[in-house]
Amino acid sequence: MINRRQFVRALGAGAAAFALGEVAPAAPPAGRPRVAVTMDDFQLFDTPTLSAEARNEAILEALGRRRLRAALFVTARNVEADAGMRLLRRWDERGHIIGNHTFSHPHYPDKSFEEFTRDVLRAEEVLKVLPRYRKLFRFPYLKEGKTPEQRDRMRAFLKGRGYRNGHVTIDASDWYVDQRLRERLKKDPKADTTGYRDFYLAHIRERSLFYDDLARRALGRPVAHTLLIHHNVLNGLFLGDLLGMFEREGWQLVDAEDAFRDPVFKSEPKVVPAGESLVWALAKQSGKFEHLLRYPAEDGDYEKARMDALGL
């Protein structure tokens, strides 16, 4: 995946230094937090470690062991061919939600309204044949517009087509950890991946605690979280470990369909640039948490120094 920062530099956004330990509690606050798995892109490519089919089955198996139903937001160009659609149908058959993530994964702030909406509708044509397809839409890179006009025009379009925004509440950079993992495995397919697993679990734990704490502060209550991760080698190898970590930490794993029933997902934060985690955007809208909020909310650059120091 292309680094998000490449898209936000044009907006004049810079990343502020941010000490995770200063804002994330050591353990979930009172009230058992809930989290659902949502997965983006559905990229299908073979690697020496896992073929696309093996990765797909490993992810489905990790979810299936816990009878957990996720939401998969599909970039439809990945399933235009019969081979891709065959693998996607396995998600549909097992009861997971299939959502719209556009056809070609464009960056909305850099596209005209007409270009972007054509891409959304092209994806719909590909995906609507699936019984579990739902009109849930997720913006690529979580970027929902750089001006109020761009933001509001897309919101009106989606409502007119019967779509809901498939918001993320817990954002993270699993795609960056995956990128570095695959670089290592390309050089040495037998490399020890333990360090990448441990870093990944610690990273998701940090971000989950941060966004859960932020939700409770900004909204005055816990929310049913939707975690953003990707259909990649990292999760093919370690999704089961990640779900186990949540359980050990006292989180309740819930189906994505149940999580999206939380009233928070009806929110329409009036911030620009629009997007990021829904919790981030609501906190931003309140004007009370500027000292906690960086932009972009998540990016691989934030993890680079720590991974470099660990030799990952």
Each residue's pLDDT tens digit, 182-212: 999 999 999 999 999 999 999 999 999 999 9
Split at pLDDT 50, 70, 90, the class of 30 is: low
pLDDT at 94 over 80: yes
Burial tier of 161 (Cβ tally within 10 Å: 0-12, 13-18, 19+): middle
CB atoms within 10 A of CB 89: 16
pLDDT for residue 6? 43
| Per-residue pLDDT at 8 exceeds 80 | no
The mean predicted confidence, pLDDT, of the chain is 92
Domain range annotation of the chain = 32-309
CATH homologous superfamily, domain 32-309: Glycoside hydrolase/deacetylase (3.20.20.370)
Task: State the Cα–Cα distance between residues 76 and 84, nearest whole angstrom.
Answer: 9
CB 106 within 8 A of CB 140: yes
Q: How many CB atoms lie within 10 A of CB 5?
A: 15
Residue 60 pLDDT > 70 = yes
pTM > 0.85: yes or no: yes
Where is pLDDT greater, at 23 or 225?
225
List, for residues 221-275, the tens digit of each pLDDT value.
999 999 999 999 999 999 999 999 999 999 999 999 999 999 999 999 999 999 9
Dist CA 120 CA 141 (whole Å): 15
pLDDT of residue 72: 98
Instruction: Tell me the mean pLDDT in the region 120-144.
Output: 98
In angstroms, rounded to a whole number, what is the distance separating the alpha carbons of residues 312 and 310?
5
- Residue 4: per-residue pLDDT: 46
- CA atoms lying within 13 Å on the CB side of residue 12: 3
Specify the pLDDT at position 31: 77
Q: Where are the beta strands (DSSP E) in the chain?
A: 34-41, 71-74, 97-100, 133-137, 143-145, 164-165, 224-230, 252-253, 274-275
Q: How confident is the model over 22-51, as a mean pLDDT?
A: 78
Of 208, 206, 215, the C-alpha closest to 282 is 215
**Does 56 score more than 80 pLDDT?**
yes
